[in-house]
Structure 1
């Protein structure tokens, strides 16, 4: 689970006084209401939901982008265009380090992982991993100063049987500013972790970024509809009941066969050839292993359709798509015939069906949704989250969510842009708003910031 995210000199986030980073936190505040919204293991209390508000261009999406930039860097290295991602409000920021740090709860332990990088120069300058203890003490598991070429290992990473092996990897990149140690230790290292259990934290943190942190933008599907690929009728009925709760009219769905050409329709020819080559390779690998699985299912999802491709050891390739039935009609409709709002809800169901262990970050939750539908979705998520350790962080303009019957005060956050173009992050918790106050009205009146300020479009001429 995400505890905190700190960022500095990235996009519209510069630094706070005394060179401190901007901070977004999922640590619960002092609010006493709605304790069922909180994860509490006796040592830390974490929010399972947060809604982030702000005017257009205030920096809400930049917070999401900053999280995703950190995730991308950890998993795949510095992405294309990274040299322009520093905060450009001050010219000297170009050659200053950008700071990324996340605090995480993994299993029974708590960690802080981060790094500094001069983005304009594609150069990492430091990296660290710290274990956080409930008594407020810390153990620096590894600390890397790239400019000095030094490494330090402590705690479970300093075990006699392990530290010599880690030092070999560390020495290979001691002065290499182009790669993170965490990334290196998760590149072709499966056997290493089987034989060195004390180093599991390096794998677990990487896996959290890869498989448990799910970040989505408005122009990207949240889901690949894998939850609809279930053939068990009981599971289909469970999904249909959940869909029905949102009043979009769908009462049933089915998988029907479709030609593979339809799945590839609209895909550039070069990409089509690559997809077909990959399918042939996976089919060959599947059939080459005697005692392996007999089938392999792949999901292809575009903005307008869904396809499930099944590879088998004994049968020909099978391609299927999904169709929906509304009310008592016998006619079924494919995904591209559904409304944008219906498609959006079908996307969001992935969050409700994901189960424990996921942290979703969703930009523009309310896109294409009626205000009542947005409210219903958040309400449903919070009900499901009572029994699951799952988190959802959203940006939104939907002020109806600012309802103390729905949310706690510490679940509401704001991003506001200063006159110099820099963004500030802060929580409603800082305002100690009364529980009987109309928060949405106060927000729209500008009491908490994060709302647009307009100039006259047509100035009134003086007589």
Structure 2
């Protein structure tokens, strides 16, 4: 679970007035109602939902991009164009380090992982992994200073031959400031974790970023619809789809010609897919227990499953939906953008424990009532499991104390300097009978557009 995220010197996020990083937190405040919205741990109470508000260009998407940037640097390395992602509001920021740190709850323990990086030169400055102990002590698991080429590991890693292995990995990258230790310890190191159980924490933290943190932007599909392939979900899916007023009464997987699918796949992807099919076919022939293999493919307006057997035969299916009693089938591309958006979001409602979803512009393509209903449904389902959903939105109808707690509402406001500030509604003394949506639109909490006259009228 996500506890906190801190960032400094990234896009519109410079630093607070005291020089500290900007902070977004899922730690619950003093609100006592709606306890089902909270994950109650031994040490902390964590929220299961947060809505982030702000005017266009205030920095809402930049918060999501900051979390995504940290994840990408860990899992894939420097993304294209990242050398210009420092905060440009101050020219000196080009040579300064950007700061990223995430606190997480993992297996009933609390960890903080972070690093500093000079984005303009794409060089890491420092890296650390710390366990936050119940008595407020900090236990450093590993610490790396790339400027002075030093590193250290906790005492339990200094026994036997584990420390020797870790030392070799650290020494190998002592002169390489372009890679993270956490990344190195998770590239083809499966044998390390089989041999040394105490080293598992490096894999677990990495896997949290890679597998548990699900970040979604408006220009990409949220789901590949693989949840629809699982037949045990059909009844539940139909119930959800019907409840959101899409008009869909049923869906089914329908066979389509393989040529139709391959014609729509870009040549480079098609070539890679065919190579993988050949490899998998060879593996299935060598393994009598493996009878079939499949992939799910999703574009903005299409969905396909490809299933292969050892003989090289390919079975292709797509999803189609029926509306009303006549059972006429329609393809995904024939559904409205709003319906497709709901179908994307269903994956969140069907998700298992432990996932953290971040959705930029939740309300895109959705009617205000539908956005409200989705959040309401999510919170009802989340009462029975530990899951988190963080969204950015303009939808003021969600600012309703019948739906949300005060500490579940955040704002991002852009100052005159161009820097973005993050703050919670908890910072305001808001009565529970306050019409928060009206106050927000009036600009009481910031985070709303300030309009000026574009073409002033000159008096004659």
- 2:286 aligned partner: 288
User: 2: CA distance between counterparts of 1:282 and 1:432?
Assistant: 60
Contact conserved, 1:148 with 1:175, CA < 8 A, in 2? no
> 1:369 Cα deviation (Å)?
0.3
Q: Distance in 1 between matches of 2:300 and 2:354?
A: 26
Between the aligned partners of 1:330 and 1:451, the Cα distance in structure 2 is 45
Q: Where do 5+ consecutive residues of structure 1 fail to align? A: none
Counterpart CA distance in 1 for 2:262 and 2:440 is 47
> Which of 355, 364, 367 does residue 358 from structure 1 map onto?
355
Residue of structure 2 aligned with 1:321, choices 308, 313, 318 = 318
Does structure 1 retain, via aligned residues, the 8 Å contact 2:281–2:312? no
Q: 1:162–1:198: 8 Å Cα contact kept in structure 2?
A: no
Distance 1:158 1:446 in 2: 56
Q: Is the 8 A contact 1:33 1:408 kept in 2?
A: yes
Distance (whole Å) between structure 2 residues aligned to residue 307 and residue 416 of structure 1: 42
Cα deviation, 1:94-153, whole Å, max 9, x if unaligned, reads: 000000100000111110000001010111010000001122111011000011110111
Stretch moving more, 204-213 or 276-285: 276-285
User: 365-374 vs 165-174, which deviates more?
Assistant: 165-174
Counterpart-to-counterpart distance in 2, 1:205 and 1:64: 20
Deviation at 1:311, TM superposition (A): 1.5
Tell me by how many angstroms 1:418 deviates.
0.7
* Aligned 8 A contact 1:263 1:300 in 2: no
Partner of 1:410: helix, strand, or coil? helix
State the Cα distance separating 1:295 from its structure 2 match: 1.8
How much does 1:259 deviate?
Answer: 1.8
Equivalent residue number for residue 349 of structure 1 = 346
Pair 1:42-2:42 in alignment: yes
Does 262-271 or 115-124 show the bigger shift?
Answer: 262-271
Q: Distance in 1 between matches of 2:154 and 2:197?
A: 15
1:51 and 1:177 mapped to 2: Cα distance? 36
Contact residue 89 and residue 422 of structure 1 kept, 8 A = yes
* CA distance in 2: counterparts of 1:82 and 1:315, whole angstroms: 42
* Residues 288/394 of structure 1: CA separation in 2 closer, same or farther (3 Å cut): same
Shift of 1:155: 4.7
**Do the aligned partners of residues 211 and 154 (structure 1) sit closer, same or farther apart at CA in structure 2, a change above 3 Å counting?**
same
How far apart in 2 are the matches of 1:286 and 1:417? 56
Instruction: Give CA-to-partner distance per residue, 1:75-110, whole Å, 9 cap, x none.
Output: 011111110110000001000000010000011111
Tell me the residue number matched to 1:409.
Answer: 406
What is the TM-score normalised by the length of structure 1? 0.97
- Distance in 2, matches of 1:218 and 1:273, equals 28
Pairwise CA distance, 1:351: 0.4
Q: Aligned residue for 1:300? A: 297
Distance 1:239 1:75 in 2: 32
Instruction: Give the structure 1 partner of residue 3 of structure 2.
Output: 3
Report what 2:244 is aligned to.
246
Q: Distance in 2 between matches of 1:158 and 1:372?
A: 57
Give deviations 1:401-439, integer Å, cap 9, x for gaps. Answer: 000000000000001111111100000000021100000
Compute the displacement of 1:19 (Å).
2.0
Contact 1:142 1:157 in 2 (8 A): no
* In structure 2, C-alpha distance between the alignment counterparts of 1:385 and 1:366, rounded to whole Å: 19
Q: Does 1:258 align with 2:256?
A: yes
User: Aligned partners of 2:256 and 2:442: how far apart in 1?
Assistant: 53
- SS of 1:78 mapped into structure 2: coil
Tell me the SS of whatever aligns to 1:369. Answer: coil
Q: 1:335 to 1:390 in 2, by over 3 A?
A: same
The correspondence for 1:379, drawn from 359, 363, 376, is: 376
* Secondary structure class of the residue paired with 2:52: strand
CA contact (8 A) 1:159 1:198 kept: no
Work out the CA distance in 2 between the residues paired with 1:85 and 1:38: 34
Q: Give the Cα separation in 2 of the matches to 1:159 and 1:386.
A: 43
Aligned to 1:231: 231
- Contact 2:11/2:88 (8 A) holds in 1: yes
Q: Deviations over 1:146-190 (max 9, x none)?
A: 111101111543444422221111111123201100000000011
For the residue of structure 1 that corresponds to 2:251, the secondary structure is: strand
Q: Work out whether residues 114 and 128 of structure 2, in 8 Å CA contact, stay in contact via their aligned partners in 1.
A: yes
Distance 1:317 1:260, change over 3 A: same
Q: Counterpart of 1:227 in 2: which secondary structure?
A: helix
Query: Does structure 1 residue 449 correspond to structure 2 residue 451?
Result: no
TM-score (norm 2): 0.98
CA 1:30–1:384: 2 relative to 1, 3 Å? same
Gapped runs of 5+ residues in structure 2? none
CA RMSD after TM alignment: 1.3
2:82 aligned with 1:82: yes
Question: What SS is found at the alignment partner of 2:18?
Answer: helix
Decide whether the 8 Å contact of 1:287 with 1:313 is kept in 2. yes
1:54-89 deviation line (CA, Å, top 9, x unaligned): 000000000000100000000011111110110000
Shift of 1:321: 0.3
Say whether 1:181 aligns with 2:181. Answer: yes
Return the alpha-carbon distance in structure 2 between the equivalents of residues 79 and 108 of structure 1: 32
Name 1:269's counterpart in structure 2. Answer: 267
Matched position secondary structure for 1:394: strand
Q: 1:266 to 1:309 in 2, by over 3 A?
A: closer
Give the conservation status (yes or no) of the 8 Å contact 1:297–1:308: yes
